[in-house]
Structure 1
Amino acid sequence: MRARLSGVGLALCLLSAACFGAMGVFGKLAYAAGVGPEALLALRFLLAALLLAGVLALRPGLRSGGPGPRRPLGRRLLLTALALGAVGYATQATLYFTALERIDASLVALVLYTYPALVTLAAVLLGRDRLTPARAAALLVASGGTLLVLLGAGGVRFDGTGVALAFGAAVTYTCYILVADTVVHRLAPVVLSALVMAGAAVALTGRAIAGGGLDLGFGPAGWLWVGCIAVVSTVVAMLAFFAGLRRTGPSTAAILSTAEPLVTAALAAVTLGESLTPVQLAGGLLVLASVVVVQLRPRRRTALPAEAPAAAVS
């Protein structure tokens, strides 16, 4: 029975990584179908918030994270969760999808995936964790891999501003995770995720309206790719991850989540004709290896903030 459940957990974690990894490709296809970045961002979080609200309505047990008593949702906790979405996640998503307009999806994914090392480094500097020899080695490996990704551009479309935006998304996601770590143990995961999505939806929709309104004049193909981002790469990815996490534990889930940028690179090569140079590929593998090293011997079992892959846990 345990083996069967473990197999289900592995499959769910890999499904989550594949869904998250497809987001960059869906974003590129949405842009090609005429969807603007403002509409894409606002619709992604609006649809995700509505879907998660529906999930919570159909499955009331998820409001408490399990069969136990429900956790009280005070005003301060509610505002904090909404602010995580309105400020942290909205900013991260804006930087990510703006970077997608300038550079290849595979390169965005590899640069973004420096965030696990950044989370580890920040946790050490803040005194939340200690710097073990393995973690120090992982940080050095991640730094070297990132350097190879940036210097090995070759014939790949490379734009310094786009790379800076992608790295800004990694830094913002790091800050989001560290702040979310202060509230993630006080709310059920799906409830926190729904609140984060709602906060981001309000912020991004309000910004789009203030900037002249949402342009929804794109065709059915645009709606298809926006729907894929909201349903597949947000709601399904997140729910599959939480379900897999419960069966495998954080360490295994963290290692499996390293498949995410590999999925992005593979899908981008097949659907968009993108490719990485051998030097960039080697650098990307070093970055992913650093995530595995950091997570092989976790010091404590911890819950995860909304939509954060397991590698984010420091």
Structure 2
Amino acid sequence: MSSTVPLNRTTAGVLFGVVSSVAFGAGGPFAKALIAAGFSPLQAVWVRLIGTVVVLVALCLALRRPGQLTTMARYKWPIALYGLVAVAACQVLYFVAASRLPVGIAILLEFTGPVLVVGWEKLVRHAHVARESAIGVGVAMLGLAIVVQIWSGVHLDAVGLAAGLGAGAGNATYFLLIDRLAGTVDPLTLTTGGMTVGMVVLTPLAAPWSAPWHVLGHSVPLGSHHLPGWTLAAFVVLISTILSYLTGAAAVQRLSATVAAGLAYVEPASATVVAWVTLGERLSPTQLAGGVIVLAGAYLAQRGIGRNTGAEGDSTRSILGTTVTTEALIP
């Protein structure tokens, strides 16, 4: 019996991690379909945020966890920065990139976040960076050059390319803020507060009152298929945001740092596959090879950071260069 329980726990952790990564990566094509149907990238993000906030606030009220409002008030400025940069800016820039580039390339650009974290630690904080992390940065940059085919003068859409790299910066900010708030603000509180801030900030910019809400009641093209618009929005909110968050937290509780971090790299692969199946988007063999190199480099960079943080004690785990507590990650 003693050997069965750990096996079941590990298997469940791997399943949770894969579900989380696939769910998050699959959201891009559905959001892209909404944008193509008439929503602006800002409005598509606002729909995602308002739906997520409603569900998370309801979850917080149902759980009745004491001290959440006090925690939000105490750490209001870090949470506000999280909502502005890691939630609002990152998601808007990713949606802009996904609307102008193949979804697979857009999410690869966003996944330069762990690489940027290494650069921040080295160049800004002047912290020691493991040799493995430095090598990973170089490998990831090489892969990125292959993905954008820099030898041909970068023929990808310039705005989409810039937006994708901006989403990578927002992704890096997410990791750095989580690291700062580790042990003080639990993920549910941080996510609810950050999503709320992002929604409020984006409201005047997205102008949801002028959004084409009628699209949600009509059939929307998704590649060669047609689905009701509301199902696309529901997928983005319930599957690629809330389900991804909850199952990701469950995976962290059950797996080692290295395994949990490695599973997150299923996201770009799943986004590419879902975009190919739903939208018919295909990357060239050269771009696919570059994508594999980007992920390998980012994984090396994360492993180097993980070894540094792992030396600080057994109470923390590194997730894509992020230090998070292993207690109470999900309610």
User: Under a length normalisation based on structure 2, what TM-score does the superposition of the two structures give?
Assistant: 0.83
2:290 alignment partner in structure 1: 283
2:171 alignment partner in structure 1: 173
Cα deviation, 1:195-244, whole Å, max 9, x if unaligned, reads: 111111111123223x9744423133222111111111111101110111
Measured in 2, the distance between the counterparts of 1:170 and 1:37 equals 17
Shift of 1:260: 0.3
Instruction: Go from structure 1 to structure 2 and tell me whether the alpha carbon gap of 1:153 and 1:104 turns closer, same or farther (over 3 Å shift).
Output: farther
Conserved 8 A contact 2:118-2:134: no
1:240 alignment partner in structure 2: 247
Cα deviation, 1:32-78, whole Å, max 9, x if unaligned, reads: 333332321111111101111122223346x78xxxxx895162413
Matches within 5 A, 1:53-202: 53-60=57-64, 72-73=70-71, 75-127=73-125, 129-151=127-149, 158-202=156-200
What SS class does the counterpart of residue 35 from structure 1 fall into? coil
What SS class does the counterpart of residue 73 from structure 1 fall into? helix
**Amino acid of the residue matched to residue 264 of structure 1?**
A
**Amino acid of the residue matched to residue 45 of structure 2?**
L
1:307 alignment partner in structure 2: none
2:39 matches 1:35:
yes
Aligned-pair identity in percent equals 27
The structure whose residues are more often strand, as a share, is: 2
**Amino acid of the residue matched to residue 200 of structure 1?**
G
1:49 alignment partner in structure 2: 53
Cα deviation, 1:152-197, whole Å, max 9, x if unaligned, reads: 798x983122111111111122234323432243111111111111
Conserved 8 A contact 1:135-1:293: yes
Aligned residues: 301
Range that drifts further, 135-144 or 220-229: 220-229
Measured in 2, the distance between the counterparts of 1:258 and 1:174 equals 15
Conserved 8 A contact 1:71-1:187: no
Conserved 8 A contact 2:140-2:294: yes
Shift of 1:129: 4.3
What SS class does the counterpart of residue 185 from structure 1 fall into? coil
Instruction: Go from structure 1 to structure 2 and tell me whether the alpha carbon gap of 1:153 and 1:313 turns closer, same or farther (over 3 Å shift).
Output: farther
* Structure 2 unaligned spans of 5+: 218-227, 311-315, 324-331
Conserved 8 A contact 1:39-1:215: no
Range that drifts further, 28-37 or 6-15: 28-37
Conserved 8 A contact 1:152-1:280: no
Cα deviation, 1:65-111, whole Å, max 9, x if unaligned, reads: xxxxx895162413431342134421111111111221111110111
2:220 alignment partner in structure 1: none
2:213 matches 1:216:
yes
What SS class does the counterpart of residue 34 from structure 1 fall into? coil
Range that drifts further, 31-40 or 2-11: 31-40
Instruction: Go from structure 1 to structure 2 and tell me whether the alpha carbon gap of 1:34 and 1:224 turns closer, same or farther (over 3 Å shift).
Output: farther
Instruction: Go from structure 1 to structure 2 and tell me whether the alpha carbon gap of 1:71 and 1:250 turns closer, same or farther (over 3 Å shift).
Output: farther
1:3 alignment partner in structure 2: 7
Measured in 1, the distance between the counterparts of 2:151 and 2:7 equals 43
Flag the structure with more relative contact order, 1 or 2, with Cα contacts below 8 A and sequence separation at least 6.
1
2:17 alignment partner in structure 1: 13
Shift of 1:26: 1.2
Measured in 1, the distance between the counterparts of 2:135 and 2:180 equals 27
Cα deviation, 1:257-307, whole Å, max 9, x if unaligned, reads: 001000011111111111111111111111111232234462325468xxx
Range that drifts further, 292-301 or 43-52: 292-301
Conserved 8 A contact 1:185-1:303: no
Range that drifts further, 289-298 or 165-174: 289-298
Conserved 8 A contact 2:85-2:170: no
Conserved 8 A contact 2:94-2:107: no
Conserved 8 A contact 2:93-2:164: yes
Shift of 1:251: 1.9
Instruction: Go from structure 1 to structure 2 and tell me whether the alpha carbon gap of 1:153 and 1:4 turns closer, same or farther (over 3 Å shift).
Output: farther
Conserved 8 A contact 1:184-1:192: no
2:309 alignment partner in structure 1: 300
Instruction: Go from structure 1 to structure 2 and tell me whether the alpha carbon gap of 1:82 and 1:127 turns closer, same or farther (over 3 Å shift).
Output: closer
Instruction: Go from structure 1 to structure 2 and tell me whether the alpha carbon gap of 1:83 and 1:121 turns closer, same or farther (over 3 Å shift).
Output: closer
Instruction: Go from structure 1 to structure 2 and tell me whether the alpha carbon gap of 1:227 and 1:153 turns closer, same or farther (over 3 Å shift).
Output: farther
Conserved 8 A contact 2:72-2:193: no
